[in-house]
């Protein structure tokens, strides 16, 4: 396919990411980060990773925006004023070099959807062939997350639960 639809989505994502550090006040930054997550989630959906897109929408656009706003509730206006010193010389040199290095490394990655890439030859065919007989779940991603790696998922849930409790303890109102 000559025209690839990722390019407009990537351009929109880059525009929001640049805007989030360009705007003057923090609340606009938070809103722009929510927009950024929406666009990133569209990119995931376009690449076919529906589950990742759903998580990006829930966590990035919904939960992170609400958590950032909760944090802004607790801050004074003098804390949210943005001072932006001009970038130092080291920043201007190191970060383009880092970008070039990452682009150079990305040229070694296998093509998207390549059946001979290392990720698709090791264990993925086994999952694709046997997951329905093993778990009776039509969605392979769900069966991997909830059955083959269920212990991993359970401990992740414990971590998220602990961090939720910590946030609730830190953000609770003081009782008079």
Q: Indicate if the alpha-carbon torsion angle 53, 54, 59, 63 is positive or negative.
A: positive
Contact 46, 6 (CB under 8 A): yes
Q: Does the footprint of other proteins cover residue 82 (CB under 8 A)?
A: no
Quick note: the x/- pattern for other proteins over 32-51, rule CB under 8 A, is x-xx--xx-xx--xx-x-x-
With CB under 8 A as the contact rule, which of the stretches 14-22, 90-98, 112-120, 126-134 interacts with other proteins?
14-22
Separation between Cα atoms, residue 143 and residue 132, nearest integer Å = 8
CB-based contacts of 54, cutoff 8 Å, min separation 6: 41
Residue with smaller CB distance to other proteins, 38 or 148: 38
Count other Cβ atoms within 10 Å, centred on residue 16.
Answer: 19
Residue with smaller CB distance to other proteins, 50 or 167: 50
Strands annotated E in 30-153: none
Residue with smaller CB distance to other proteins, 9 or 144: 9
Q: Nearest distance from residue 13's CB to other proteins, in Å?
A: 10
Tell which one of 2, 17, 57, 173 touches other proteins (CB under 8 A).
Answer: 57
């Amino acid at each position: 396919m000559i025209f690839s639809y990722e390019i407009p989505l990537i351009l929109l994502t880059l525009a929001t990411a640049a805007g989030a550090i360009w705007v003057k006040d923090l609340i606009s930054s938070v809103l722009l980060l929510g927009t950024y997550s929406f666009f990133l989630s569209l990119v995931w959906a376009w690449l076919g990773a529906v589950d990742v897109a759903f998580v990006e929408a829930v966590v990035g656009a919904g939960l992170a925006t609400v958590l950032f706003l909760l944090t802004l509730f607790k801050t004074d206006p003098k804390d949210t004023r943005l001072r932006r010193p001009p970038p130092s010389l080291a920043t201007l040199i190191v970060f383009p070099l880092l970008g070039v290095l990452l682009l150079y490394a990305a040229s070694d990655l296998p093509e998207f959807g390549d059946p001979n890439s290392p990720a698709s030859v090791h264990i993925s065919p086994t999952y694709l062939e046997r997951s329905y007989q093993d778990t009776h779940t039509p969605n392979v991603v769900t069966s991997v997350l909830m059955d083959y790696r269920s212990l991993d998922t359970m401990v992740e849930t414990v971590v998220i639960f602990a961090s939720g409790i910590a946030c609730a303890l830190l953000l609770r109102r003081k009782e008079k």
